[in-house]
Structure 1
């Protein structure tokens, strides 16, 4: 293949040039997602570098140059340079010594190809020289990138045996980048699906939510379900849940709604709040995520007024509930939830003794205010007058 030169605006950053000057151009290569995404013309978020220098040497050089450095994963050779334009993870070349599917014992290497051989997919093993920006491709990753094929480096079963999470990573990358399916990868993921049970729930949840956050994950998730991979990590999902996910994604497209992974997860699960809580607990989701997933499992957007729903539940949850119900959420666009313009003290000032009666009146006026689509304050005063007359 002809020499390929990386074209990327980020590669011209002054702070990156300073980093290269400190560590030495021959000791450093840009690698991974930034290189891959730049070649695809996609937005780059994070920049990673590989280096022949050991982490202690990297830290010493950066500190001497006045660049803040954090030993984020120094035991595995990774440190983070804190730069004005965005942090850069710098990892010493490595090779695996032993793996058990969950973690690896590594030793430092000196050869770029050896480092590439321990990575997961060919499209993630592309290295760019920091000055010439020439791409080094050791496993035909450029060809796979052109074909939009996600292919394991070497034997797929061996790569998965090294790190079982690569099963879920394969599907996420396939949903994001893939057009052509790789038969060996598909078979290996199905064959070794049961190994996912040994992974930490946090790692599984991270990959699942990242997959569901993609614009078009449906075909991939359907294949995971059909091949027996999804049931290992989400046994609660049935064919009906897959149909609900398909309906939701189709409706999101019609509504131009942004993907929301928790909403999509809720669509896949039965509409049972306690079950949703169990799933959230098993996946070690945050308290806020657990609460949201449980609330979506109750549904409730089938016949509610969109703005009344947003007032009670908050705009984000209301939108989720409406979309799950297949209802138009346009009424919430550019609409700010109003503040109820009546306080208990105003009712007391009208001669009602402080206590439960004030709360009952306040709730009654608020309910009518919502039903009338949040009229202005003078109407609220009139509603209060009516409520007080009825209680006279």
Structure 2
């Protein structure tokens, strides 16, 4: 409803009903639709229509909340159901005849592009402490003016509640926040309020996120890259985020690589030319090198020559292929080296010579590099 009114992409349609879950399941099956009790204790049944899932939830009101979970009682009052939600723009509904129902002032807030809690912000946050991060995330996604002061003050007062949330919930919400259109300014607010430190245990660099968000390339909207811009410079930063946000192995590996690349790029003495960029791409991949360079944009190091800049753009875009080392263990054995550890040592020497020679691929040069890498033969 909210997205449709502002012309944004609608990702899902949720349905509210006065029917209790068992009745929802019965009616769905009578209509020969698949019904999955995905959140039955909270009144939610997922009904699959032509392969598309729709969450159908019984009207309800909270009986008990503890900041993480709520015990609910099913009801029949749409206004009461709307009043238990978090923000006014999330409490809008549409009936089958096309009538928009707004009992909390959501339409006015949506028109003004502002995000406000329904009722007392402190009460809403204490019902579910994740609403603190959701407040900033929705502001970054939908608002255009200053952040709501009452909501901000309540979020700061209730910051201790963030420690009660699971790391998985914090990770999911933070990644959505940094990917939002207004992430740069909003994350700066989150950081200045001390809330980002409470979530991540790290001192953030909002300026790096601002610089990355200002780039025109679509890769700059990648949430993990934005998280790295905000919080990752060295390996210890990646280690910290893995623990605080329970990152997946793939996410952690990517942040580690970005940290290593930033350290490597910052340690370069002279400007990076085409050969240096190609070498980095062979070691780390073209896109990670481009990502790390983007994270360090505006820093004194690394500096790129014109040729290095052109090579980086071509490799990242795929218009120039990343060179692939053409030798393998069989080549070394065929050259007379017995199987064993010596094969690896020869390959390592050959690869170093190949990189120094700017990754040639012609057979004659490759054969010469292999010969240079072979162990010296005893003339006696």
Same fold (TM over 0.5): yes
Mean CA deviation greater in 269-278 or 112-121: 269-278
Whether 1:354 aligns to 2:334 is: no
Aligned runs of 1:92-111 on 2, under 5 Å?
A: 92-111=58-77
In structure 2, how many angstroms separate the alpha carbons of the residues matched to 1:200 and 1:380? 56
SS in 1 for 2:337: coil
In structure 2, how many angstroms separate the alpha carbons of the residues matched to 1:56 and 1:390? 77
Given that 2:213 and 2:220 are in contact with CA atoms closer than 8 Å, whether structure 1 keeps it comes out as: no
Give the deviation of 1:256 after TM superposition. 5.1
Given that 1:225 and 1:231 are in contact with CA atoms closer than 8 Å, whether structure 2 keeps it comes out as: yes
Q: Match for 2:292 among 307, 321, 324?
A: 321
Whether 1:333 aligns to 2:317 is: yes
Q: Partner residue of 2:306? A: none
Q: Partner residue of 2:112? A: 147
Q: Match for 1:286 among 227, 232, 248?
A: 248
In structure 2, how many angstroms separate the alpha carbons of the residues matched to 1:231 and 1:208? 12
Mean CA deviation greater in 216-225 or 320-329: 320-329
Given that 2:200 and 2:244 are in contact with CA atoms closer than 8 Å, whether structure 1 keeps it comes out as: no
Q: Match for 2:238 among 271, 276, 285?
A: 276
SS in 2 for 1:151: coil
Moved over 6 A (4+): none
Q: Partner residue of 1:137? A: 102
Given that 2:136 and 2:186 are in contact with CA atoms closer than 8 Å, whether structure 1 keeps it comes out as: yes
1:84 and 1:322, CA in 2 relative to 1: closer, same or farther beyond 3 A? farther
Partner deviation per Cα, 1:20-79 (whole Å, 9 max, x = no partner): xxxxxxxxxxxxxxx111111111222211111111111122122221121111111111
Whether 1:243 aligns to 2:207 is: yes
Given that 1:267 and 1:324 are in contact with CA atoms closer than 8 Å, whether structure 2 keeps it comes out as: yes
In structure 1, how many angstroms separate the alpha carbons of the residues matched to 2:373 and 2:284? 28
Give the deviation of 1:373 after TM superposition. 4.2
Give the deviation of 1:391 after TM superposition. 4.0
Aligned runs of 1:295-306 on 2, under 5 Å?
A: 295-298=257-260, 299=262, 300-302=264-266, 303=268, 305-306=276-277
In structure 1, how many angstroms separate the alpha carbons of the residues matched to 2:370 and 2:287? 34
SS in 2 for 1:146: helix
Unpaired runs of at least 5, structure 1? 1-34
SS in 1 for 2:220: coil
Given that 1:204 and 1:283 are in contact with CA atoms closer than 8 Å, whether structure 2 keeps it comes out as: yes
1:84 and 1:379, CA in 2 relative to 1: closer, same or farther beyond 3 A? farther
Aligned residues: 353
1:235 and 1:385, CA in 2 relative to 1: closer, same or farther beyond 3 A? closer
Give the deviation of 1:308 after TM superposition. 2.8
Unpaired runs of at least 5, structure 2? 303-308
Partner deviation per Cα, 1:252-292 (whole Å, 9 max, x = no partner): x1555332222232333363313421331121111222222
Aligned runs of 1:1-392 on 2, under 5 Å?
A: 35-84=1-50, 86-130=52-96, 132-180=97-145, 181-238=147-204, 241-250=205-214, 253=215, 255=217, 257-269=219-231, 271-298=233-260, 299=262, 300-302=264-266, 303=268, 305-326=276-297, 329-331=312-314, 332-334=316-318, 335-379=320-364, 381-384=366-369, 386-387=371-372, 391=376
TM-score normalised to the size of structure 1? Answer: 0.82
Partner deviation per Cα, 1:336-356 (whole Å, 9 max, x = no partner): 444433221122222222233
Q: Partner residue of 2:305? A: none
User: Higher relative CO (CA 8 A, sep ≥ 6), structure 1 or 2?
Assistant: 1
In structure 1, how many angstroms separate the alpha carbons of the residues matched to 2:368 and 2:27? 72
Mean CA deviation greater in 180-189 or 196-205: 180-189
TM-score normalised to the size of structure 2? Answer: 0.85
Given that 1:245 and 1:268 are in contact with CA atoms closer than 8 Å, whether structure 2 keeps it comes out as: yes
In structure 2, how many angstroms separate the alpha carbons of the residues matched to 1:280 and 1:227? 23
Give the deviation of 1:309 after TM superposition. 2.5
In structure 2, how many angstroms separate the alpha carbons of the residues matched to 1:379 and 1:56? 75
Give the deviation of 1:94 after TM superposition. 1.1
In structure 2, how many angstroms separate the alpha carbons of the residues matched to 1:215 and 1:359? 49
Mean CA deviation greater in 191-200 or 331-340: 331-340
Give the deviation of 1:294 after TM superposition. 2.8
In structure 2, how many angstroms separate the alpha carbons of the residues matched to 1:230 and 1:360? 47
